[in-house]
Amino acid sequence: MRDEESGTVRVLLIEDDREAAAYMARGLAEGGHVLAHAADGEEGLEMARAGGFDVLVVDRMLPGLDGLSLVRTLRAEGDATPVLFLSALGQVDDRVRGLRAGGDDYLVKPYAFAELLARIEALVRRRRPEQGTTRLVVGDLEMDLLAHRVTRAGVEIDLQPREFRLLQCLMRHAGQVVTRTMLLETVWDYHFDPQTNVIDVHISRLRAKIDRGFEVALLHTVRGAGYCLRAPD
Amino acid sequence: MRPIRTALRTTAFRLALLYAGLFGASVLALLLFLYFASAGLIARQADETIEAEITGLAEHYRRRGLGGLVQVVIERAQRLPTSVYLLADPLRRPLAGNLDSWPEVGTGPEGWLEFSFEAATAEGRMTHRARARHLVLTGGFNLLVGRDIEELRLTVARITEALLWALALTAALALGGGLVMSRNALRRIEAINRTSREIMAGDLSRRVPLSGSGDELDELAANLNAMLAQIERLMTGLRQVTDNIAHDLRTPLSRMRARLEVALMQPAAAATYRQEIERTIAEAEALIATFNALLAIAEAEAGAEREAMERVDLAALVRDAADLYAPLAEEAGLAFSVRIAGEGELAVRGHRHLLSQALANLIDNAVKYTPRGGAVAVVAARGAAGIEVVVADTGPGIPEAERERVLGRFVRLEASRSTPGSGLGLSLAAAVAARHGARLRLEDNRPGLRAVLLFPPAPPAKALEGTPG
């Protein structure tokens, strides 16, 4: 369904706030993505059933059918389209409930648009088969998941366990923006925002290990969004 | 009448009835005893004198013969009008005495009989009852000695009547007392109900009046009052947090709005607009962070769901948090050390994410406020008082007078802005600690701040269930 050539993502947003939906449509269009909008749960379920979307962005609290029930219904019908929950309910337990209902990710309002975009892209990309992958490669950077070894241009790089997981997360999402929050969630399992930008220091250390002394940098900072590890064009 | 009906339905009335019944039964037993002790005794004494007299007359007959007996009977019959004497031949024809004929009733098993007779009284002849003893003398003669028991009967009747009145009076008193008692209890329950209604109508300051007797109703009222006080405290806390949120969000919100309005006022280059917008977004982010922190405190205060409580290895949490902050601390020119003693025995029951956040906040705080060249030390160990996690820094610390306040439920943010090291992070850590039955203590690190999270020894499962929230 997804147009692999253009990279266009088709998003179904099920959200009763029309204005927020309009903003999101414009933001996604900037990135070359397409958004369809359903303003209540029942309409959303119908549209989702019709198919053709790469990702569903579902508000938890909807008129008609609530978000959790909607996703549960879809999952029960065998629909595996990735789901990103949007919610004003930000407690850890709410998050767990969302994921248990079949959601793939959970974003608390208010969120930065860059965060939403990064997560949507990560979700769509996640559909690619990953099981059985034992080696990640980005340019001349290689990671052997079994031997816990990282090399760049054949030279072994010594990484701390946490740095290894940080790099692994970035490599899995190579070419995509990974936000600080996503890194905190994946690498540290922290679902809150440490006030200080602790992640930045970790990234700069990692960058020193994988990029220093090489002509081409692989790890880039995306201003106002996060980081991106990508192979040179 | 509704109140009476209500009264009949109440437990208090039923209890009163039961007590009245028990009381009545005791009084009845007492009255029966009195009856037998008075009326019964009189009757028995009468019987005894008759028995003695007839034995005496029989003795007289044996010694003096029929003639002697007739003489005595005639003499006594005249002298003692309230006594009954009759001597009759074997065919029960009267020979002497003050009865005209042998009474037409059968003799009882022990020789006793009761009958009516015409007695000569001051008011003339009247029918009276008599009780007499019948003795058959040698030679077949019949002797009857008795007493006019009309007086006795009247006395017994009077005693019986008096006792019945006493019984009735007792029953009335018991019932009345019961009613009064139940009405009294009802009135006090009604007072509790009235207070409840007033509170439901919105006046949380109302309290149930105590009677001062210290009885169960007073105890109930005292408990209700304690509960109300707790609710009022929580409500006040809620109002306080609302005030704080309003204060802490309104100020930056109006600043944001002013910034945007000013930007709109003067035509400017796109780059200037861009800069203003970016600043505004940064401000919005700070605002959201404050908001989230306030909500997190409220969450920890109100209690995360108990089902989310699990066995949490504090050693791992401390390691993770330290791991996250170590590079930052080194970057800030601080000596950062972590020591975990007693690996594998630092487990508590808790909420993993809240505990993580509390630890991260403590370390964040220490790193943020310790000047370059200082030190931050994180230690987790099991001590005599329980598991201790200590985050010690060499920063400016917090003046002793401020420490308790800084940990307060909803510390004013002005303080956190003006006093380094006392941000919302500490309030959150304190709230999380309280949620876990732990305590956050702030001490002087000479110099610097020593934040100690103390988890008392794992309470029995029941005590953990009882934690508020």
Tell me what ipTM this predicted complex has.
0.84
Mark yes or no for CB contact B289/A198 under 8 Å.
no
**Closest residue of A to B299, CA-based?**
A91
> Residue B364: which CATH number?
3.30.565.10
CA distance B38 to B26: 18
Per the listing, tokens 């796109």 go with B270
Mark yes or no for CB contact A201/B323 under 8 Å.
no
Domains A10-125 and A135-229 equal at CATH topology level? no
One domain for residues B394 and B461: yes
Residue B295, pLDDT score: 78
> How far, CA to CA in Å, does B12 sit from each of A181, B3, B23, B181, B303?
64, 13, 16, 7, 40
> How far, CA to CA in Å, does B432 sit from each of A185, B386, B467?
20, 17, 12
Chain A residues closer than 8 Å to B425 by CB: 195
Residue of B106, B81, B108, B93 whose CA lies nearest to B140: B93
Structural domains counted in chain B: 3
Residue B197 lies in a domain: no
Distance from the Cα of A100 to chain B's closest Cα (Å) equals: 14
CA distance B311 to B320: 16
One domain for residues B70 and B145: yes
One domain for residues B281 and B317: no
One domain for residues B350 and B280: no
Owning domain of residue B445: 305-465
CATH architecture of the domain with residue range A10-125: 3-Layer(aba) Sandwich (3.40)
Residue B368, pLDDT score: 87
Distance from the Cα of B324 to chain A's closest Cα (Å) equals: 7
CA distance B99 to A39: 120
One domain for residues B312 and B350: yes
Residue A152, pLDDT score: 94
Per-residue pLDDT band for A225 (boundaries 50, 70, 90) equals: confident
Mark yes or no for CB contact B367/A191 under 8 Å.
no
Residue from A108, A186, A196 whose CB has the most chain B CBs within 10 Å, to mutate: A196
Q: Quick count: other Cβ atoms within 10 Å of Cβ A92?
A: 21
Q: Which residues in chain B show pLDDT less than 50?
A: 1, 410-422, 461-469
3-state class of A225 per DSSP?
Answer: coil
Q: What is the pLDDT of residues A21-66, one digit of tens each?
A: 999 999 999 888 999 999 999 999 999 999 899 999 999 988 888 9
> Any chain B CB within 8 A of the CB of A144?
no
3-state class of B150 per DSSP?
Answer: helix
> Residue B114: which CATH number?
3.30.450
Higher pLDDT, A7 or B25: B25
Residue A130, pLDDT score: 59
One domain for residues B356 and B379: yes
Q: Nearest 5 degrees, angle CA A24-CA A26-CA A28?
A: 65
Crossing angle (nearest 10°) for helices B314-331 and B352-369:
30
Please give the average per-residue pLDDT across A85-106, as a whole number.
86
Residues in CB range of B35: below 8 A, 6 or more apart? B159, B160, B163
Quote the strand ranges of B222-277, DSSP E. Answer: none
Please give the mean pLDDT across all residues of chain A. Answer: 89
Higher pLDDT, A107 or B177: A107
Higher pLDDT, A5 or B215: B215
Question: Which of B292, B320, B351 has the CB atom closest to A188's CB atom?
Answer: B320
Residue A129, pLDDT score: 55
Which of B256, B276, B299 finishes a domain? B299
Which of B141, B162, B183 finishes a domain? B162
**CATH for A135-229, among 3.40.50.300, 3.20.20.80, 3.30.70.100, 1.10.10.10?**
1.10.10.10
Q: Distance between terminal CA atoms of chain B?
A: 46
Domain ranges across chain A: 10-125, 135-229
One domain for residues B358 and B421: yes
One domain for residues B11 and B48: yes
Distance of CA B371 to the CA centre of its chain: 58
Residue A73, pLDDT score: 94
3-state class of B122 per DSSP?
Answer: coil
Chain A residues closer than 8 Å to B323 by CB: 162
Residue B252 lies in a domain: yes
One domain for residues B10 and B156: yes
Chain B residues closer than 8 Å to A198 by CB: 324-325, 327-328, 364
Which of B118, B134, B162 finishes a domain? B162
One domain for residues B57 and B107: yes
